Amino acid sequence: MIRFVRHWHARAGVIAALFLLFLAISGLVLNHTDALSLAKREVKASWLMHWYGLKSTVPKQGYLFKDGFLAAADGRWVMDGHILREGAEQPPLGAMTWNQARVIAGAEALYLYTAEGQLIDKLSDAELPGKPIRQLGLAGDKLVLATVRGHFSSSDALTWQPHDGEQPTWSSLQALPNAELKEVKQAFAPSLPLERIILDLHSGRIFGRYGPLLMDLAAIVLVVLSLSGVWIYLRTVRKKPQH
């Protein structure tokens, strides 16, 4: 009997060791998610995204600045090929160049960026003359917001007055130039945080619906191995000749 158990204990042990190593290493990495910034590291490998069934939505329209563009899809805002925001709940309603800044309006907030993508200021709640914002426009050198409370203009994006001056030029969606489409395509390529991929590897979910079952099986094998190991040890100790 002991020969039989030893035989299978060794073979199952080698196979289970692979799973154990894999689980231990992935578990160790997941234990230090924050230190390793796993949530912030985006993986874009096309074969992996294909495996997850993720497809990119590439917008063909966007907002044009004097020397750049803003495009948005699936909660991602991309300015000049660089990701500006992720997980935005609503798409931008307008974007335009104002003085040296690039202004982007969402329904609930107004963002001021530099051309390099550095946030200058974000105006929301009481900093806005009214919400939701419906349109963003320019009247001379004044920024104009169309809100549910009416039209308001500002020359510094700090204080707002009811706008009753010249007719604003409203920002509107335009076809993105062909030259930008390659950049847009790259920027909207699907991606997943590394943390999610390692979590799925650890749980087996990356291998589809049967992956977790495979990991369950490996766990059961480990339990059996622990028991058989203890059993073999006890048998060996008992059989030792006593002096």
Partner 1 sequence: MNKNMIAAACALLLLVMAGSAQAIQQYLTSEQFLTEAFGNEVSKPQALWLNKETAKQVEKILGHAPHQTRQRYWRTGNSSAWILEEIGKEEPITAGFVVTDGRIAQARILTYRESRGWEVRYPAFLKQFQGAQLQVDDHLNQPVDGISGATLSVNAMVRMARLALYFDRLSRAE
Say whether residue 108 binds partner 1 (CB under 8 A): no
User: Which of 125/141 has CB closer to partner 1?
Assistant: 125
User: Which of 118/242 has CB closer to partner 1?
Assistant: 118
Say whether residue 159 binds partner 1 (CB under 8 A): yes
Q: Give the separation between CA 22 and CA 193, rounded to whole angstroms.
A: 20
Residue 198: Cβ-neighbour burial (10 angstroms; 0-12, 13-18, 19+): buried
Say whether residue 112 binds partner 1 (CB under 8 A): yes
Q: What is the DSSP string of 58-121?
A: --SEEEEETTEEEEEETTEEEETTEEEESS-SS--SEEEEETTEEEEE-SSEEEEE-TTS-EEE
Shortest reach from residue 18's CB to partner 1, in Å: 35
Say whether residue 114 binds partner 1 (CB under 8 A): yes
Q: What is the DSSP string of 15-46?
A: HHHHHHHHHHHHHHHHHTTTTTTGGG-EE--H
Say whether residue 161 binds partner 1 (CB under 8 A): no
- Count residues contacting partner 1 (CB under 8 A)? 13
Considering only 67, 89, 141, 156, the residue that binds partner 1 (CB under 8 A) is 156
Nearest partner of 137 among 176, 165, 158, judged by Cα? 165
Nearest partner of 192 among 49, 53, 58, 89, judged by Cα? 49
Shortest reach from residue 194's CB to partner 1, in Å: 18
Shortest reach from residue 43's CB to partner 1, in Å: 22
Cross-strand pairs, 154: 143
Say whether residue 127 binds partner 1 (CB under 8 A): yes
User: Which of 23/109 has CB closer to partner 1?
Assistant: 109
Shortest reach from residue 217's CB to partner 1, in Å: 32
Nearest partner of 61 among 24, 19, 30, 91, judged by Cα? 91
Say whether residue 37 binds partner 1 (CB under 8 A): no
Cross-strand pairs, 197: none
User: Residue 215 in contact with residue 199, Cβ under 8 Å?
Assistant: no
Say whether residue 15 binds partner 1 (CB under 8 A): no
Say whether residue 82 binds partner 1 (CB under 8 A): no
Say whether residue 120 binds partner 1 (CB under 8 A): yes
User: Residue 81 in contact with residue 217, Cβ under 8 Å?
Assistant: no
User: Which of 114/236 has CB closer to partner 1?
Assistant: 114
User: Which of 41/122 has CB closer to partner 1?
Assistant: 122
Residues that bind partner 1 (CB under 8 A): 112, 114, 118-122, 125-127, 156, 158-159
